[in-house]
Amino acid sequence: MKALVKAAPGPGLELTDVPDPRPGPGDVLVRVLRTGICGTDLHIDSWDDWAARTIQAPLTLGHEFAGEVVQVGSAVTKVKAGDLVSGEGHLVCGTCRNCMAGRRHLCANTIGLGVHTNGAFAEYAVLPERNTWVHEHAVDPDVAAIFDPFGNAVHTALSFPVVGEDVLITGAGPIGLMAAAVARHAGARHVVVTDVSAHRLELARKIGVDLALDVRRARIDEVYAELRMSEGFDVGMEMSGQPSALREMISCMTHGGRIAMLGLPAEEIAIDWSAVVLKMLTVKGIYGREMFETWYAMSVLLQGGLDLSPVITHKFSYTEHETAFETARGSNCGKVILDWTEH
């Protein structure tokens, strides 16, 4: 089968033939239909310091995907051939304290599909049944392919109650955009998104945020009067990993405000901890999805009319992976999809 592989240490990927995977007793074999390109994939492609420390080549990339089950192992009991599925890309140990307590998203022994083990940028992929999400209701395969990052957005957006609250989201990348859509759908009073990309701010407006703010041209606290706010934001979602964004978010939170932090900083961030203390702020780190409570929430949100289509801006055949990766690396896009059914 064809697969997109990091064949050897160094920049670049190779579309090549690899052996078809075989499912074990507790696994399912999936014919991949669509995959989403993640920032992690871009790091592996460019072979930055993180990739050089983390990746063991050769490796098939990819952890955002949707496909059709074509075969199941002898111990599989619930998933069946023909099911449309998405994959939970965090493979947990199942035996640590958190896993045994049902907190699998907190497993300290987590390994990543397409990072520590061969992933889904291929015509076929194998996944443990316990990591397979079956779509019981109709869903566009393009949307099903981004359930992994959609889960990050939902986990972040619903970490704190947002009904009637003023919400600030720093970073209008695909996950930030999806979090904005979730917050709006879940009943936030105001949703403000900040970024420096005009294209992504326009996508935020299409999603229906109250204000998409270019922070190069205005400060966040300058919008209070326009939105009839007096004390600051109730809930913050930091999606950018930028030090200046976190610092400004802290300064713009109301007393008792709550911050969910998904953006991964590339370096240490110096912040005014006295503001955190004196404002009595809560800061919560977010990594991945709650398995599988977040997945239930994702499906229910889509069934309830949440529209993610504006977030998906480009789709390419897997044979055009170089163009797709170049597009995803720029700022004039939302989510970029690879179609594994078109040659």
* Residue positions forming the annotated binding site: 38, 63-64, 93, 96, 99, 107, 175, 195, 200, 262-264, 286-287
Angle at 29 between CA 132 and CA 25, to 5 degrees: 85
Give the residue numbers of the binding site for NAD(+).
175, 195, 200, 262-264, 286-287
3-state secondary structure of 26: coil
Buried b (16+ CB within 10 A) or exposed e, 122-133: bbbbbbbbbbbb
Alpha-carbon separation of residue 205 from 22, 209, 212, 331 (angstroms): 45, 6, 6, 16
Cα–Cα separations (whole angstroms), residue 2 to 20, 67, 127: 9, 15, 18
Active-site residue flag, 43 = yes
* Sign, CA torsion 230/231/237/243: positive
Out of 16, 35, 43, 313, the active site residue is 43
Q: How far apart are CA 172 and CA 212, in angstroms?
A: 9
> Which residue in the list 35, 40, 110, 156 is annotated as catalytic?
40
Q: Is the Cβ–Cβ distance between 336 and 313 less than 8 Å?
A: yes
31 phi and psi, to 5 degrees? -85, 115
Binding-site residues for Zn(2+), in ranges, read 38, 63-64, 93, 96, 99, 107
105 part of the active site = no
> Is the CA virtual torsion 95, 99, 104, 109 positive or negative?
negative
Which two tokens mark 228? Answer: 């009839």
Q: Enumerate the active-site residues.
A: 40, 43
